[in-house]
Structures are given as C-alpha cells and as structure tokens.
C-alpha cells in the first residue's frame, strides 16, 4: 500500500517558521491519519525517513516535531534523532499502559528533557488520567482551532506553557486566535509539503531482517523476552495472545518472561514474525493474510505429527505462502532479500520435496475450511479423505487442526 511522509511548518507570532511537523498519511487523505497503521509502526517509519533525508534538511535548520503515542515513547529509534532539534507531541496510546510501564515512560521523558527534547500535549488528551499527569513535563499545549476557547488559553497561561493552535483554514480563523496563541499551523498559513512517497514493503523487509537474525541468535525464551520488553506494543500483543482461549492459562499471565516461557522458544520466534508482519501485511490484504496465518498454523500442526523436526520451517512456509500476492512481489526474491534460510526457499521451489509436501497439505486443508464457520461439522469431503490418505492423519484430527488454526489466526489478527 502507498503512503507518504509530509511536513507542515508551524509559525510563531512574527510569522517565522520555527518548527516543522512531520507525519504519515495516505496520498488521498492528507489531513487524516491512516487508522490501519499502528502508531508504533508510524513512529519507526517517520524516524527512518527523517534520518534518511537528514534532520536539518527536513527541519530547514529549525526544530522537527513528530507525533509519538505514549506507549511508544520508550521506542529506542527516537534516540537516533538530535534531541536539541526535536519536539515530541505525545498522543494517546493504542494499548493500555500499566503503572510499571508508565513509570518507565516518565523516566524516559525525563531523560529526553535533560537532553534538550521538548514535549507537546493536545488539550483533548487532558481528560485521560495518565495523559493529564504529563502536563508538568510538557512545554507546549496544542489545540485544534475548532476546540479553541478562552478556558484553554487560561489553562496554558496558568501552567506557563506555549499554546499551539492548529488547523487554521482561513483569514477569519487566524484573526480570531492570533492574539492568544504563541504558535500557529494550518493550510491558511502553509499547506503540507510531501517529503517522500513509499510502499510499506521495504519497512516490512527491514523488520523481518532484524527478527530473522534474532531468531538465529536467540538461545532461550528469556533472551527474546529481554528484547520484547523494550517494545510496549509487542509486549501487550504477546500477553494478549498467551491469555487468550487458545492457550487457556489457569490464571492470568502478567509477566512477559512467563509468557515467553509458556509459548516456548520455537513458537515464540514464529509468533514474533507473525505479529511483526501483521502490522504491515494486514493493511495490504487482510483476507489473504488470514489465509497465510491459518496455513502457517496448520502446517506447523501437521509437521508436529509427521515431521517434528520441521515444525518451525513448516510454520514459516505457510506464513509466507501468499506474500507474493499480498505485496505484489516475487516471492523467492523477497525471501532472499530478507535473508530467509535456504531450506524454506527450497520448500517453495520443490527442491525440498518433504517441506513442499507439508506446504501442499496445509494449503489443501486451509482451502477446505476457509473460515471458522466451515468447521462446525465433521468433514466428509473427498479432498479431506485424500489428505487423510496422504498424511496418515485421520480426518477428525485434520478437522480439529483446521478449526484451532483458524481460531488462532483470528486471535493474531485482532491483537
């Protein structure tokens, strides 16, 4: 899917550009955030493009503002930007933030403040208890002109905060607020400037390269847990899955270390790949991605019975089985670019006939049960009987494999 990164200047009272806000959009919806993109992914992509183009060039020598959700403040990528040229507008998290993580976020904000980073907070977030507690740490209160009123002005002044008024669309808007605000932004003053258009595919490739390298190096669930814990979004997703009906724990799992131990090293590596891809690929084609997830889990479960040493490879075969259709890329070339191991590639080409057979079985079973509602009755179709003969797995076991795999695929799609 095509996106763009744009910047829009923010002016002071003297009409001088003093900040450039940088944001992610779809071309056809320049003034609306694409809700299907998780904030954590947007932060990573924006920072990556700022670094690629150069922060001074993007900001034209002035400060650069980026929007970062509360849960993404501890994203290590932020450390790559020049703190003395950076303003972070804190926006509401997409996932719940517990007290332990919240305290970690506060410590990170304090660290950035000491380095020279400035922070901004939209007044509409002041109704959120955790967000309102940040007021003493921010230097700017921002407000959409459609929500502007004297009460907000008085609040900003009482807290000694600069007031940023945005979405100024015409001369009337500007004249109404110019004597109250300190900073101003809107199409009336200057429209956004496109910095770069891009596809999501390259960012998926970079993510996969990092995770595949991690999968090769990590020797224990704890090693992976230590990495996951620095990403609040991924932590929440893992905990949500391990507490789902699929795993059915006796009591709620609250620790990421415990969750990783329950899932196990091999399953954890596979799940990380699926969750990382989920953020990107589900945007492109959610239906095909659901099929891919179901195939991955089916392939893993079939391999557990007929080829236990190949369970992880079987999962990955299913996971990437439709990547060419989803992203409109050459599958083999894509897998080579992300440094996928040769056995997996040989499974697709048929050079590894054993893995190819497992993939074919998973595709056949997925196609027989294309949605959870199709798995309500025991299968009697000839295709399933044929699979029973080919795999040596009875049709009722195949039925349960399909049913549970679609349920797990649904869980991953929803996290």
- 36-45, 60-69, 171-180, 347-356: which range is least confident on average? 36-45
CATH code of residue 144: 3.20.20.450
Q: Is the pLDDT of residue 230 over 90?
A: no
pLDDT, greater one: 168 or 243: 168
Domain stops at, among 171, 199, 227: 199
Give the pLDDT band (50/70/90) at residue 298. Answer: very high
Say whether both 136 and 177 belong to one domain. yes
**Which of 176, 199, 222 corresponds to the end of one domain?**
199
- Whether 267 and 250 map to the same domain: the answer is yes
Banded model confidence at residue 372, pLDDT cuts 50, 70, 90? very low
* Average pLDDT for 142-164: 96
For residue 380, the model assigns a pLDDT of 57
190 and 269 assigned to the same domain: no
CATH of the domain at 390: 1.10.3210
Q: Given 199, 219, 251, which residue is the final one in a domain?
A: 199
Mark whether 43 and 169 lie in a shared domain: yes
pLDDT of residue 108 exceeding 90, the answer is yes
- Max mean pLDDT among 26-35, 174-183, 241-250, 272-281 falls in 174-183
Q: Check residues 13 and 97 and name the one with the higher pLDDT.
A: 13
Q: Are residues 247 and 113 in the same domain?
A: no
The CA distance from 238 to 279, in Å, is 14
The pTM (predicted TM-score) of the whole model is 0.69
349 and 293 inside one domain: yes
Question: Is the model's pLDDT at 276 over the cut of 80?
Answer: no
Same domain, 225 and 369: yes
Q: Are residues 80 and 46 in the same domain?
A: yes
Q: Are residues 229 and 153 in the same domain?
A: no
Are 105 and 205 found together in one domain? no
220-229 pLDDT, tens digit each? 888 888 877 7
Shared-domain flag, residues 165 and 314: no
User: Does residue 126 register a pLDDT over 50?
Assistant: yes
Report the pLDDT averaged over residues 271-278.
82
Residues 226 and 194 in one domain: no
Q: What is the span of the domain harbouring residue 90?
A: 2-199
Tell me how many domains the chain contains.
2
pLDDT in tens, 247-263: 778 888 888 888 888 88
**pLDDT over 50 at 375, yes or no:** no
Residue 143: predicted pLDDT = 97
């Amino acid at each position: 899917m095509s996106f763009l990164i744009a910047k829009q200047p923010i002016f002071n009272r003297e009409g001088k550009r003093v900040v450039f806000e940088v944001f992610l959009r779809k071309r056809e919806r320049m003034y609306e955030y694409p809700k299907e993109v998780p904030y954590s992914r947007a932060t990573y992509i924006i920072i990556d493009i700022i670094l690629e183009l150069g922060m001074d060039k993007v900001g034209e020598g002035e400060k650069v503002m980026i929007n970062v959700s509360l849960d993404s403040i501890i994203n290590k990528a932020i450390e790559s930007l020049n703190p003395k040229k950076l303003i972070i507008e804190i926006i509401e998290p997409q996932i719940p933030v517990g007290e332990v993580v919240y305290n970690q976020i506060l410590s990170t904000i304090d660290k950035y403040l000491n380095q020279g980073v400035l922070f901004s907070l939209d007044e509409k977030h002041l109704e959120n208890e955790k967000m309102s507690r940040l007021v003493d740490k921010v230097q700017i209160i921002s407000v959409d002109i459609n929500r502007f009123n004297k009460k907000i002005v008085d609040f900003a002044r009482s807290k000694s905060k600069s007031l940023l008024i945005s979405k100024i669309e015409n001369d009337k808007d500007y004249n109404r607020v110019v004597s109250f605000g300190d900073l101003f932004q809107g199409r009336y003053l200057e429209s956004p400037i496109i910095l770069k258009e891009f596809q999501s595919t390259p960012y998926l490739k970079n993510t996969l390269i990092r995770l595949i390298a991690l999968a090769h190096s990590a020797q224990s669930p704890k090693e992976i847990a230590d990495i996951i814990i620095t990403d609040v979004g991924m932590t929440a997703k893992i905990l949500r899955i391990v507490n789902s009906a699929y795993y059915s724990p006796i009591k709620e799992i609250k620790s990421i270390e415990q969750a990783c131990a329950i899932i196990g090293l091999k399953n954890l590596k596979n799940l990380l790949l699926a969750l990382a891809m989920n953020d990107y690929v589900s945007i492109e084609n959610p239906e095909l991605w659901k099929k891919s997830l179901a195939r991955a889990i089916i392939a893993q479960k079939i391999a557990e019975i007929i080829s236990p040493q190949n369970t992880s490879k079987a999962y990955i075969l299913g996971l990437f089985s439709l990547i060419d259709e989803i992203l409109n890329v050459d599958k083999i070339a894509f897998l080579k670019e992300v440094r996928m191991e040769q056995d997996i590639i040989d499974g697709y080409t048929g050079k590894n006939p054993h893995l190819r057979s497992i993939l074919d079985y998973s595709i056949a079973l997925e196609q027989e049960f294309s949605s959870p509602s199709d798995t309500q009755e025991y299968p009697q179709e000839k295709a399933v009987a044929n699979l029973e003969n080919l795999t040596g797995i009875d049709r009722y076991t195949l039925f349960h494999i399909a049913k549970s795999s679609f349920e797990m695929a649904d869980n991953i799609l929803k996290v």
